[in-house]
Amino acid sequence: MNKIGVFYGSTTGTTEDVARRIAEKLDVASADIHDASSITEAIVEGYDVLLMGSSTWGDGELQDDWYDAIKIVKKVDLSHKFVGLFGCGDCESYSDTFCDAIGILYEELKSTGCTFCGAVATSDYEFGSSIAVVNGKFVGLPLDEGNEDGKTDARIDSWVEGIKKEIN
């Protein structure tokens, strides 16, 4: 069975909450949930599946803790690891950069040889544009806890079920 680590960058606590909810659905122990600010190469090496979450800030920016953390992640051989991305954004006020942080993480990791999992159809979302959309799908799970929190549980459930199928 693949060992799953959940990693998050969260300034206000929203993405951390989402990370913990995802971990619970996957029976991931609290010891396997990590703040991006505490990532080390040894921690990353200990997992077969890396689920990484970031909120999107400003005009489509990555959450601050990820700027250093992603450099650490990229030092690890990811060629035999699955990577699933999730993130929080604002589809109304920041419609043109909706969940861009997921796209930034994807761009940073796509040359590492990892296997991405958890792409999500765009059909259930209303937004202007997002660099997290590649080949017509989000490269991970986008969530809007401010405007669409009523859809979050169902979106997480669907994403988790898809992840389970892809990593086994």
Residue 50: strand, helix, or coil: strand
Predicted TM-score (pTM) of the model is 0.97
Task: Look up the domain containing 33 and give its range.
Answer: 4-167
Q: How many independent structural domains does the chain possess?
A: 1
Query: Which pLDDT tens digit goes with each residue over 29-48?
Result: 999 999 999 999 999 999 99
Query: Which pLDDT tens digit goes with each residue over 116-138?
Result: 999 999 999 999 999 999 999 99
* Share of the chain residues as helix, strand and coil, in percent rounded to the nearest 5: 40, 25, 40
pLDDT at 58: 87
- Cβ atoms of 131 and 100 within 8 Å: the answer is yes
H or E stretch covering 157: helix 152-167
pLDDT at 74 over 90: yes
The whole-angstrom separation of Cα 59 and Cα 84 is 23
The whole-angstrom separation of Cα 44 and Cα 131 is 25
pLDDT at 159: 98
Both tokens assigned to 47: 């997992």
pLDDT at 1 over 80: no
**What does DSSP assign to residue 48?**
S
Non-local (6+) Cβ contacts of 69 within 8 A are 7, 9, 36, 37, 39
SS (H, E, C) 82-138: EEEEEEECCCCCCHHHCCHHHHHHHHHHCCCCCEEECCEECCCCCCCCCCCEECCEE
- Read off the CATH number of the domain in which 147 is found: 3.40.50.360
